[in-house]
Structure 1
Amino acid sequence: MTLVPLQPPGWPAPKGYANGMLGEGRTVLVGGQVGWDAEGRFAQGFVAQAEQALRNILAVLAEAGGRAEHIGRLTWYVTDIAEYRGSLAALGSAYRSVMGRHYPAMTLVQVSALAEPEARVEIEATAILPDRADAG
């Protein structure tokens, strides 16, 4: 099973995300992950927190036997959209170091605050894993 990007004809090609993804299988919903490690220590800086949040998503997903390529959607919540925009080059590199060149459907929203005061980004994921019969 693979996720298939959906691209309406004539639309400009998205950069670093997909407009939609088609998949069939077992659904895994990963709650919002922030940029802290297993001991609850936050990474320093926006990009480092985003990278750690992505690593945390993959750790949760691995519990179901999933990998980055099974992620169909990421929703990003950031506290400072200007910081996000100013970090795009470094963020792209950090993203690829964790996720490879897998670009699911994505949404990014600025929020006034996150539950953890030190958090600058929180990311949630929806993944579709192969049915167990197809996984082998």
Structure 2
Amino acid sequence: MTSGLERINPDQLAPATGFSHAVRTSGVTVHLAGQTALNADGRIVGDGIVEQFEKALGNLLAALDAAGGTPDRLASLTVYLVDIEDYKANMREIGRVWRRLVGSDYPAMAAVGVTRLWDVEALVEVQGTAVLE
């Protein structure tokens, strides 16, 4: 830990280049880097918004787990979308993915429309903050 920050990059995620998958501060707050549907080889997987959301959220939760947190500890989440209408059209299925992976508690959330994400194939990116007990 340097200056109260511990950078966490779990082996099961694609290598972090220019960012950390999670940053734990003083053992209380964990800042989770934006996650897309990258597999461990660094390739975007999933043909549609639902599949990519599931993988991106799974990646975020893997980083949170590596930092010692659980899904119920998510305090905030920002969802970046290249097609908001596609997300809205699939909200029921995306909600089912959320409840299966996280549960019925929701953090403070925002959805932001963007022109594109770092990986041109990415349709969605999720970024969050968790507070550990």
Give TM-score, length-normalised by structure 2.
0.76
Structure 1 residue 102 displacement after superposition: 1.9
Matches within 5 A, 1:1-136: 26-41=28-43, 42-130=45-133
Structure 1: tracts of 5 or more residues without a match: 1-24, 131-136
Per-residue deviation, 1:96: 1.1
Q: Deviations over 1:69-110 (max 9, x none)?
A: 110000000000110110011111111111111211100010
Separation in 1, partners of 2:40, 2:98: 20
Question: What do the CA deviations read for 1:44-85 (whole angstroms, capped 9, x no partner)?
Answer: 210111111111011101111101011000000000011011
Mean CA deviation greater in 111-120 or 94-103: 94-103
Q: What one-letter code is carried by the residue in structure 1 that aligns with 2:38?
A: W
Alpha-carbon shift at residue 36 of structure 1 (Å): 2.0
Task: Please identify the structure whose Cα radius of gyration is greater.
Answer: 1
Which structure has more RCO (C-alpha within 8 Å, separation ≥ 6)?
1
Counterpart CA distance in 2 for 1:65 and 1:43 is 27
**Equivalent residues, number:** 106
Distance 1:102 1:57 in 2: 16
- Measure the CA separation in 1 of the matches of 2:41 and 2:97: 21
Cα-to-partner distance string for 1:101-126 (whole Å, 9 max, x where unaligned): 12111000100010101100000010
Which stretch of the first structure deviates more once superposed, 36-45 or 98-107? 36-45
TM-score by length of 1: 0.75
Q: Percentage identity across aligned positions?
A: 42
Unaligned residue ranges in structure 2 (runs of 5+): 1-26
